[in-house]
Amino acid sequence: MEDFKDIVTKNNGTVSVQHLKGYRQIGQGGDGTIYQLTSERCVKIFYEEETQQRELEALQVGQLSSVIPRLYEYGSNYIVMEYVNGTSLKKIAKKERQLSESIVRKILFMLEEMKRVGFARHDTEVRHILFNEQGEIKVIDHKRALTSARTVPTKLVAGLKKMGVLKEFLEHVNKLCPSLYEEWKHI
């Protein structure tokens, strides 16, 4: 397998999916494809430079928080960041059919951190919330974090409702932060 730095150097600072054939693909979406580079790092190859720029800016702003993956390097069409070896909130909710108070506390912390670092969007999808092997929460996919103003977590709530755990989530929110419960109970 060719070293990632060599790939970048040979290709004048850009990377394509074809260059990463020897690496394990760990995700693919509408904005790009993600490959695991090492046990600690992954690279996201973007289809559009504008999307890469928006996500890069959000990751740079988010480096002040433990819930945002560490940023290591970037080029015109890629970003190398922390690989989060963990389980998504979506998979946890599907498997467990419930959410513990501990998980809800971490979700509330994550949302507060998104606000604290200056993200305009204090929301994400359940599949973008990950819990690593140590149980720490991380949130990925930040292309709209600075451009889409949303202070109420409507996507999160919709995902939890679809997973059948919204009622329990809101009960924990009511116990942990009644003012948020009052704001969110009718979303």
**CATH number for the domain including 22?**
3.30.200.20
Give residues with Cβ within 8 angstroms of 105, minimum separation 6.
172, 176
Q: What is the pLDDT of residues 74-105, one digit of tens each?
A: 999 999 999 999 999 999 999 988 899 999 99
pLDDT mean over 31-60: 95
pLDDT mean over 20-34: 92
Find where tokens 């973007």 sit: 46
β-bridge mates for residue 25, sequence order: 35
- Local confidence band at 110 (pLDDT 50, 70, 90 cut-offs): very high
Q: How far apart are CA 70 and CA 80, in angstroms?
A: 9
**105 and 75 fall within a common domain:** no
The pLDDT of residue 144 is 87
**75 and 90 fall within a common domain:** no
**176 and 109 fall within a common domain:** yes
- Local confidence band at 29 (pLDDT 50, 70, 90 cut-offs): confident
Find where tokens 């999160």 sit: 156
The pLDDT of residue 150 is 81
Q: What angle do CA 159, 170, 93 make, to 5 degrees?
A: 40
**167 and 93 fall within a common domain:** yes
State which of 22, 55, 82 marks the end of a domain.
Answer: 82
For the cut 60, the answer to whether the pLDDT of residue 160 exceeds it is: yes
Q: How far apart are CA 5 and CA 54, in angstroms?
A: 23
Domains in the chain, number: 2
State which of 82, 114, 137 marks the end of a domain.
Answer: 82
Whole-prediction pTM value?
0.91
For the cut 80, the answer to whether the pLDDT of residue 125 exceeds it is: yes
State which of 17, 49, 82 marks the end of a domain.
Answer: 82
- Local confidence band at 13 (pLDDT 50, 70, 90 cut-offs): confident
Strand order in the sheet with 86-88: 86-88, 129-132, 137-139
The pLDDT of residue 145 is 86
Supply the range of the domain harboring residue 149.
86-184
For the cut 70, the answer to whether the pLDDT of residue 1 exceeds it is: no
